[in-house]
Amino acid sequence: MSILIDENTTFIIQGITGREAINLTRECLDYGSKIVGGVTPGRKGREVHGVPVFDTIAQLIEHNGGQVPDGSVVTVPPAGTKDAVFEALYAGIKTIVVVTERIPRRDVAAMVELADRNGARIIGPNCLGLIVPGVAKMGGIGGPAKNAAQAYQPGSVGVMSRSGGMTTEISSTLTAAGLGVSTAVSIGGDAIIGSTYAELMPYFEADEQTQAIVIYTEPGGRMEAQLSAWVKENNSRLPIIAFMAGKFMDDDEMQGMSFGHAGTIVEGKEDSATEKIARLQEAGIPVVERIDEIPDMVKKLIAERSAA
């Protein structure tokens, strides 16, 4: 099993004729993903690695006999991202991965609100997407298919990360330890994103393959507080392990500064790494010091849950 995508998931690439999108399309196809078309206004009739290109999603759906694709990967420039996402949502697409970064916050907020109204799920923006090892991937997560296959092996641990690169680093560590990954999601590093840890937890809870969760997190934002509250309120069956980066941001002179991602801005004490670690631990979520400590902690917590 998996969350959000499986072997039958069909999706499109919006902005498919862009340089990065062309590479992303190749990587996804090589991995076995089912891309049923691409959209770039003014490019109808072209092909990208055998994938037909259309001016609009409506044209694409008509070409495919009225079948609405399950998902879309949006790779258009920031100024046009909101319109592209709105087009996908109005077409009835339910899972949208937004790769684009530096999108105005007001546009992201509007996208997320419309997705909520339409019963759809946005992953990102500023993310690499998601992957079900050995099955399919949406987005550039893991890179070329050969590299993705090495880092991501099927297993029992779900991964959620604000960093695309760290999604692969953690998953590779789990794979090397023989644990593997059920589904890995690069949720995005911006201040406003479509799917937080807490919002994705119900999907993992319902996935029988997933026996534990690992999250990569950073200072800034309230997502860890939301996750801690969710775990307490829902008595989660899944042990969760966290790795916190950027502890140096706790220094007073770093307040209001950012590093790495746009969402990593410490605006007050509650945003600090120290406070987040305390809140996570209070909710029963251990925070490891090093990535290589993750597999042993996962094995320990799974064993404890099994023995309880």
Query: pLDDT of 251-278, one tens digit each?
Result: 454 454 555 554 445 555 566 788 889 9
Contact call for residues 58 and 91 (beta carbons, < 8 A): yes
Give the rounded percent of residues in the chain with a pLDDT score beyond 90. 84
User: Average pLDDT in the 270-292 region?
Assistant: 89
Phi, psi at residue 157, to the nearest 5°?
-115, 125
Residue 193 lies in a domain: yes
The total number of structural domains in the chain stands at 2
Residue 189 and residue 147 share a domain: yes
Q: How confident is the model at residue 113 (pLDDT cuts 50, 70, 90)?
A: very high
Which residues span the domain enclosing 249? Answer: 127-308
Greater pLDDT, 193 or 258: 193
Whether residue 101 is found in the same domain as residue 143: no
**13-45, pLDDT tens digit by residue?**
999 999 999 999 999 999 999 999 999 999 999
Note whether 186 and 64 are same-domain residues: no
Query: Per the domain annotation, does 271 fall within a domain?
Result: yes
Asked whether residue 197 carries a pLDDT value surpassing 50, the answer given is yes
168/99 same-domain check? no
Instruction: Kindly report the three-state secondary structure assignment for every residue of the chain.
Output: CCCCCCCCCEEEEECCCCHHHHHHHHHHHHHCCEEEEEECCCCCCCEECCEEEECCHHHHHHHCCCCCCCEEEECCCHHHHHHHHHHHHHCCCCEEEECCCCCCHHHHHHHHHHHHHCCCEEECCCCCEEEECCCEEECCCCCCHHHHHHHCCEEEEEEEECCHHHHHHHHHHHHHCCCCEEEEEECCCCCCCCCCHHHHHHHHHHCCCCCEEEEEECCCCCHHHHHHHHHHHHCCCCCEEEEECCHHHHCHHHCCCECCCCCCECCCHHHCHHHHHHHHHHCCCCEECCHHHHHHHHHHHHHHHHHC
Mean pLDDT (the chain) is: 92
Q: What is the pLDDT of residues 54-104, one digit of tens each?
A: 999 999 999 999 999 999 999 999 999 999 999 999 999 999 999 999 999
Task: Quote the pTM value.
Answer: 0.93
- 2 lies in some domain: no
CATH of residue 91's domain is 3.40.50.720
Alpha-carbon span 160 to 105, nearest angstrom: 22
With a cut of 60, say whether residue 141 has pLDDT above it.
Answer: yes
Predicted local confidence at residue 158, as pLDDT: 98
Indicate whether 71 belongs to any domain: yes
What mean pLDDT is predicted for residues 162-188?
A: 97
pLDDT of residue 247: 58
Task: Give me the active site residues, please.
Answer: 261
Higher pLDDT, 306 or 216: 216
The answer to whether residues 142 and 268 belong to one domain is: yes
pLDDT of residue 29: 98
Q: What CATH number should be reported for the domain holding residue 198?
A: 3.40.50.261
**Per-residue pLDDT at 212:** 98
Residues 145 and 83 placed together within one structural domain of the fold: no
Q: Tell me, what's the pLDDT at 269?
A: 55
